[in-house]
Structure 1
């Protein structure tokens, strides 16, 4: 790190859990963020500010006025722009040294596999289960750690899958466990700070993984109740019948 970086990231470096070595890992990291909406907004803002070397931003949507209630990386002045371009403008103002790679279209499986394989960590900030399942399968195939978040109404979910451990459960194990359905904020609403809380926790888990801070919470499902402002955690086990990672598939 140069003198400017030592000053900029001094509050990280003061932390014994991060120190110079941890900040250098942040600066060397390539992180893939899928979705620049309510979850991807705080994820991208905090990872950019934290000094991640390269952020790959993927979203095929445009900024809409209804997004501004919760998608804090966007502005009134960027309504109608591609979300990745809107986000990039704010991120460059925060940290011009962070390299931004912008992908304005939905990735097919081959393209996604290439991007995941090139990333140190993937953050799933999308809002549909088809994409989540595909991201999960590709991350498991490439053994890339995945931090997945979801939020709707006043509820949120957070889970880390560190696929470097072959014994860890995957997203499809969780999907079968919860019997989740395809819920969207547009159809069901969402309280704006709830997506911020989940997104901030996703960013935190990504930094913890990169710097090796504390135990990895891989395979634990965090459930957030915004109505009560409470978290509870469930331990996940690999489902032998899981179509993605099960031993009986």
Structure 2
């Protein structure tokens, strides 16, 4: 795969990094990322992934832009109110790299459409805030050995975790939360979310995706972010031998 003159200019500052050579860049361009959810985490995550050279993308979101999105979903503006998030995001991202390939789906994931939505992905990034959807995506990825990044944020806090979904070393979302019932966790619409917290979580999500796609070592840990204290903590986790996902 050849890098075009336009891309060489767009990504020139990244390509001169010692840790990110042309071979890594070409590897990145061959991968396909599916992002579920264009919210406060998904918007910055995909914006920076495109800005780093990810070229093949699918965006999945059935929502429209609302005014209360604008404090943290920086792909959108006041002029985008009531427009499809997926449509607007594609337009903005193509303005960063006109040569990237972006497919969009203007629906939310459910048991009937999940296979068509998520097949042929090198990596899936789930930024939804719906527990049933998260569990559905987790099970789909585990059973098909598709790597999954799960990211969430509330208040000033965020968390990001990569599940590599290797059959011989199982670790998934339900190893951490064994029950099918939604955990007793507050939601953004009741306690709020700091735009910067969502943004920081999105950036960590993007970097974790890049680390994985370029074969940089990533151990089994949850990355915890607190925007107010500016603390980032990595907590090691272990697989649950009685995981109910199977």
For normalisation by structure 2, the TM-score amounts to 0.92
Cα separation, 2, equivalents of 1:16 and 1:109: 44
Call closer, same or farther: CA 1:98–1:231 in 2, change over 3 Å: same
Partner of 1:26: 28
Partner of 2:202: 199
Moved more, 112-121 or 69-78: 112-121
2:95 matched to 1:93? Answer: yes
Partner of 1:181: 184
1:116/1:142 contact within 8 Å kept: no
SS in 1 for 2:201: helix
Call closer, same or farther: CA 1:3–1:226 in 2, change over 3 Å: closer
Partner of 1:129: 131
2:11/2:52 contact within 8 Å kept: yes
Task: Give a deviation string over 1:140-190, Cα, whole Å, max 9, x none.
Answer: 11111111111001111111111135314100112249x843532112101
C-alpha deviation, 1:220, in angstroms: 0.5
Partner of 1:211: 214
2:200/2:227 contact within 8 Å kept: no
1:129/1:182 contact within 8 Å kept: no
Structure 2 regions of 5+ residues with no counterpart?
none
Call closer, same or farther: CA 1:73–1:162 in 2, change over 3 Å: same
1:12/1:23 contact within 8 Å kept: no
C-alpha deviation, 1:55, in angstroms: 1.1
Partner of 1:190: 193
SS in 2 for 1:204: helix
2:228 matched to 1:220? Answer: no
Partner of 1:4: 6
Call closer, same or farther: CA 1:169–1:156 in 2, change over 3 Å: same
SS in 2 for 1:149: strand
Structure 1 regions of 5+ residues with no counterpart?
none
Cα separation, 2, equivalents of 1:222 and 1:96: 32
The alignment's C-alpha RMSD in Å is 1.8
C-alpha deviation, 1:103, in angstroms: 0.3
